[in-house]
Amino acid sequence: MGKYIDLLQEDVRFKEGLKACMNCGVCTAVCPAAAFYNYDPRQLISIVQRGEDEDIEALLKSDTIWYCGECMSCRPRCPRGNTPGYIIQSLRTLSQRLGFFVESEKGRQQLAIKRTIGENILRTGYCLTPLAIRPDMHPEQGTVWRWIVEHDQDIFRQFTPSYCKVGAGALRKTTDETLAELERIFEVTGGKAMFDSIEHHSDRKAREMGYNGADEEYFMDVYTHNSNQHY
Protein backbone atom coordinates (compact mmCIF):
# COMPACT_ATOMS: atom_id res chain seq x y z
CA MET A 1 0.00 0.00 0.00
CA GLY A 2 1.20 3.51 -0.77
CA LYS A 3 0.91 7.07 0.49
CA TYR A 4 -2.17 7.93 -1.56
CA ILE A 5 -4.23 5.11 -0.13
CA ASP A 6 -3.23 6.32 3.35
CA LEU A 7 -4.46 9.82 2.49
CA LEU A 8 -7.71 8.41 1.13
CA GLN A 9 -8.19 6.39 4.33
CA GLU A 10 -8.35 9.68 6.24
CA ASP A 11 -11.61 10.50 4.43
CA VAL A 12 -14.71 9.08 6.12
CA ARG A 13 -16.42 8.79 2.73
CA PHE A 14 -13.70 6.45 1.54
CA LYS A 15 -14.06 4.25 4.62
CA GLU A 16 -17.82 4.14 4.17
CA GLY A 17 -17.63 3.63 0.43
CA LEU A 18 -15.15 0.79 0.09
CA LYS A 19 -15.77 -2.39 2.04
CA ALA A 20 -15.04 -5.44 -0.11
CA CYS A 21 -15.54 -5.15 -3.87
CA MET A 22 -15.81 -8.49 -5.69
CA ASN A 23 -15.82 -6.88 -9.16
CA CYS A 24 -19.28 -8.10 -10.11
CA GLY A 25 -19.93 -5.06 -12.33
CA VAL A 26 -23.41 -4.19 -11.07
CA CYS A 27 -22.27 -0.59 -10.45
CA THR A 28 -21.12 -0.25 -14.05
CA ALA A 29 -24.32 -1.81 -15.38
CA VAL A 30 -26.55 0.78 -13.67
CA CYS A 31 -24.23 3.79 -14.05
CA PRO A 32 -25.61 6.55 -16.32
CA ALA A 33 -22.12 7.99 -16.79
CA ALA A 34 -20.83 4.62 -18.01
CA ALA A 35 -23.48 4.66 -20.71
CA PHE A 36 -22.26 8.04 -21.92
CA TYR A 37 -18.54 8.32 -21.16
CA ASN A 38 -15.60 5.97 -21.49
CA TYR A 39 -16.05 5.19 -17.81
CA ASP A 40 -16.20 1.99 -15.76
CA PRO A 41 -16.61 2.37 -11.97
CA ARG A 42 -15.79 -1.31 -11.48
CA GLN A 43 -12.32 -0.79 -12.94
CA LEU A 44 -11.83 2.36 -10.91
CA ILE A 45 -12.65 0.57 -7.65
CA SER A 46 -10.30 -2.25 -8.62
CA ILE A 47 -7.46 0.24 -9.11
CA VAL A 48 -8.11 1.86 -5.73
CA GLN A 49 -8.31 -1.51 -3.96
CA ARG A 50 -4.84 -2.44 -5.21
CA GLY A 51 -3.48 0.68 -3.53
CA GLU A 52 -0.57 1.25 -5.93
CA ASP A 53 0.66 4.86 -5.82
CA GLU A 54 1.42 5.07 -9.53
CA ASP A 55 -2.04 3.89 -10.53
CA ILE A 56 -3.88 6.09 -8.03
CA GLU A 57 -1.86 9.15 -9.04
CA ALA A 58 -2.80 8.49 -12.66
CA LEU A 59 -6.46 8.44 -11.57
CA LEU A 60 -6.08 11.69 -9.62
CA LYS A 61 -4.66 13.36 -12.74
CA SER A 62 -7.23 11.89 -15.12
CA ASP A 63 -10.61 12.94 -16.50
CA THR A 64 -12.05 9.66 -15.22
CA ILE A 65 -12.86 10.76 -11.68
CA TRP A 66 -14.85 13.74 -13.01
CA TYR A 67 -17.27 11.72 -15.15
CA CYS A 68 -19.41 10.52 -12.23
CA GLY A 69 -22.63 12.53 -11.75
CA GLU A 70 -22.97 11.46 -8.07
CA CYS A 71 -26.51 10.12 -8.68
CA MET A 72 -25.72 7.26 -6.26
CA SER A 73 -27.47 4.61 -8.38
CA CYS A 74 -24.55 2.39 -7.38
CA ARG A 75 -25.16 2.67 -3.63
CA PRO A 76 -28.37 0.61 -3.15
CA ARG A 77 -27.40 -1.99 -5.76
CA CYS A 78 -23.94 -3.13 -4.64
CA PRO A 79 -24.23 -6.65 -3.12
CA ARG A 80 -21.25 -5.96 -0.84
CA GLY A 81 -22.43 -2.59 0.45
CA ASN A 82 -19.88 -0.44 -1.37
CA THR A 83 -20.61 3.06 -2.65
CA PRO A 84 -18.42 3.91 -5.66
CA GLY A 85 -19.85 7.45 -5.63
CA TYR A 86 -18.30 8.05 -2.20
CA ILE A 87 -14.94 6.77 -3.40
CA ILE A 88 -15.13 9.18 -6.34
CA GLN A 89 -15.82 12.03 -3.91
CA SER A 90 -12.72 11.10 -1.91
CA LEU A 91 -10.57 10.91 -5.03
CA ARG A 92 -11.82 14.28 -6.21
CA THR A 93 -11.10 15.94 -2.87
CA LEU A 94 -7.58 14.50 -2.79
CA SER A 95 -6.99 15.59 -6.40
CA GLN A 96 -8.05 19.15 -5.53
CA ARG A 97 -5.97 19.12 -2.37
CA LEU A 98 -2.78 17.96 -4.14
CA GLY A 99 -3.32 20.07 -7.26
CA PHE A 100 -3.55 17.08 -9.60
CA PHE A 101 -6.96 18.16 -10.95
CA VAL A 102 -5.35 20.70 -13.30
CA GLU A 103 -3.73 17.90 -15.30
CA SER A 104 -7.02 16.91 -16.96
CA GLU A 105 -9.56 18.80 -19.05
CA LYS A 106 -12.51 17.93 -16.82
CA GLY A 107 -10.44 18.57 -13.72
CA ARG A 108 -9.54 22.10 -14.83
CA GLN A 109 -13.27 22.83 -15.05
CA GLN A 110 -13.32 22.84 -11.23
CA LEU A 111 -12.23 26.46 -11.48
CA ALA A 112 -15.40 27.29 -13.42
CA ILE A 113 -17.56 25.50 -10.85
CA LYS A 114 -15.81 27.29 -7.99
CA ARG A 115 -16.21 30.71 -9.59
CA THR A 116 -19.84 30.20 -10.52
CA ILE A 117 -21.70 27.93 -8.09
CA GLY A 118 -19.16 28.25 -5.28
CA GLU A 119 -18.95 32.03 -5.30
CA ASN A 120 -22.70 32.35 -5.93
CA ILE A 121 -23.33 30.60 -2.61
CA LEU A 122 -21.15 33.05 -0.68
CA ARG A 123 -22.39 36.09 -2.58
CA THR A 124 -26.14 35.38 -2.77
CA GLY A 125 -26.85 32.37 -0.54
CA TYR A 126 -27.94 30.33 -3.59
CA CYS A 127 -26.09 27.88 -5.83
CA LEU A 128 -27.79 29.47 -8.78
CA THR A 129 -30.11 32.41 -9.36
CA PRO A 130 -31.88 33.40 -12.58
CA LEU A 131 -29.59 36.37 -13.20
CA ALA A 132 -26.52 34.13 -12.84
CA ILE A 133 -27.49 32.45 -16.11
CA ARG A 134 -26.16 35.26 -18.25
CA PRO A 135 -27.33 35.23 -21.89
CA ASP A 136 -23.81 35.96 -23.15
CA MET A 137 -22.47 32.89 -21.32
CA HIS A 138 -25.45 30.69 -22.20
CA PRO A 139 -26.40 31.46 -25.83
CA GLU A 140 -28.23 28.13 -25.99
CA GLN A 141 -30.95 29.72 -23.84
CA GLY A 142 -31.97 31.85 -26.80
CA THR A 143 -33.67 35.21 -27.14
CA VAL A 144 -36.59 34.34 -24.86
CA TRP A 145 -34.23 33.90 -21.91
CA ARG A 146 -32.52 37.20 -22.70
CA TRP A 147 -35.94 38.89 -22.55
CA ILE A 148 -36.71 37.16 -19.22
CA VAL A 149 -33.42 38.36 -17.72
CA GLU A 150 -34.14 41.92 -18.88
CA HIS A 151 -37.60 41.79 -17.25
CA ASP A 152 -36.80 39.54 -14.28
CA GLN A 153 -38.55 41.65 -11.63
CA ASP A 154 -41.88 41.70 -13.49
CA ILE A 155 -41.77 38.01 -14.37
CA PHE A 156 -40.47 36.31 -11.25
CA ARG A 157 -42.57 38.37 -8.83
CA GLN A 158 -45.63 36.84 -10.44
CA PHE A 159 -44.47 33.52 -8.95
CA THR A 160 -42.83 34.72 -5.74
CA PRO A 161 -43.54 38.25 -4.42
CA SER A 162 -40.40 38.10 -2.28
CA TYR A 163 -38.07 37.85 -5.30
CA CYS A 164 -34.90 39.82 -4.47
CA LYS A 165 -36.56 41.19 -1.31
CA VAL A 166 -35.82 40.48 2.34
CA GLY A 167 -38.53 38.28 3.84
CA ALA A 168 -40.01 34.81 3.54
CA GLY A 169 -40.41 33.03 0.23
CA ALA A 170 -38.53 31.55 -2.70
CA LEU A 171 -35.66 33.53 -4.26
CA ARG A 172 -35.79 36.07 -1.43
CA LYS A 173 -32.76 38.27 -0.76
CA THR A 174 -30.42 36.56 1.69
CA THR A 175 -29.68 38.78 4.68
CA ASP A 176 -26.15 39.98 5.44
CA GLU A 177 -26.29 38.09 8.73
CA THR A 178 -27.04 34.81 6.95
CA LEU A 179 -24.31 35.43 4.37
CA ALA A 180 -21.84 36.03 7.20
CA GLU A 181 -22.90 32.72 8.76
CA LEU A 182 -22.37 30.95 5.43
CA GLU A 183 -18.90 32.51 5.14
CA ARG A 184 -18.04 31.26 8.61
CA ILE A 185 -19.34 27.75 7.84
CA PHE A 186 -17.11 27.62 4.76
CA GLU A 187 -14.14 28.72 6.87
CA VAL A 188 -14.49 26.19 9.69
CA THR A 189 -15.34 23.25 7.41
CA GLY A 190 -12.41 23.79 5.06
CA GLY A 191 -14.50 25.01 2.13
CA LYS A 192 -12.63 28.28 1.77
CA ALA A 193 -9.28 26.51 2.00
CA MET A 194 -10.43 24.23 -0.83
CA PHE A 195 -11.47 27.25 -2.88
CA ASP A 196 -8.04 28.79 -2.30
CA SER A 197 -6.37 25.54 -3.37
CA ILE A 198 -8.38 25.45 -6.61
CA GLU A 199 -7.43 29.06 -7.38
CA HIS A 200 -3.76 28.52 -6.51
CA HIS A 201 -3.27 25.41 -8.62
CA SER A 202 -5.36 26.81 -11.47
CA ASP A 203 -3.16 29.91 -11.55
CA ARG A 204 -0.05 27.72 -11.65
CA LYS A 205 -1.41 25.62 -14.51
CA ALA A 206 -2.58 28.69 -16.43
CA ARG A 207 0.94 30.11 -16.39
CA GLU A 208 2.33 26.76 -17.55
CA MET A 209 -0.10 26.94 -20.47
CA GLY A 210 1.05 30.44 -21.42
CA TYR A 211 -1.76 32.49 -19.85
CA ASN A 212 -1.23 35.43 -17.54
CA GLY A 213 -2.48 33.45 -14.57
CA ALA A 214 -6.02 32.18 -14.03
CA ASP A 215 -7.51 35.26 -15.66
CA GLU A 216 -10.66 35.65 -17.75
CA GLU A 217 -8.97 34.23 -20.86
CA TYR A 218 -7.93 31.05 -19.05
CA PHE A 219 -11.36 30.80 -17.43
CA MET A 220 -13.09 30.94 -20.82
CA ASP A 221 -10.74 28.26 -22.16
CA VAL A 222 -11.59 26.01 -19.21
CA TYR A 223 -15.29 26.84 -19.54
CA THR A 224 -15.67 26.23 -23.27
CA HIS A 225 -12.95 23.81 -24.41
CA ASN A 226 -13.99 20.26 -25.26
CA SER A 227 -11.47 17.82 -26.73
CA ASN A 228 -14.26 15.36 -27.65
CA GLN A 229 -12.08 12.53 -26.33
CA HIS A 230 -14.29 11.41 -23.46
CA TYR A 231 -16.62 8.97 -25.20
Instruction: For residues 135 and 97, state if they share a domain.
Output: no
Instruction: For residues 93 and 112, state if they share a domain.
Output: no
Instruction: For residues 115 and 218, state if they share a domain.
Output: yes
Domain annotation covers residue 230 = no
Cα–Cα distance, 58 to 104 (Å, whole number): 10
pLDDT (tens digit per residue) in 86-104: 999 999 999 999 999 999 9
Please tell me the total count of domains within the chain.
2
Domain annotation covers residue 231 = no
Instruction: For residues 117 and 92, state if they share a domain.
Output: no
Please list the ranges in the chain whose pLDDT falls under 50: none
Q: Specify the pLDDT at position 188.
A: 97
For residue 145, the surrounding DSSP H or E stretch is helix 142-150
Contact predicate 111/217, CB 8 Å: no
CA angle 85, 90, 91 (to 5 degrees): 95
Largest Cα separation within the chain, whole Å, is 61
Q: Specify the pLDDT at position 1.
A: 60
Cα–Cα distance, 53 to 61 (Å, whole number): 12
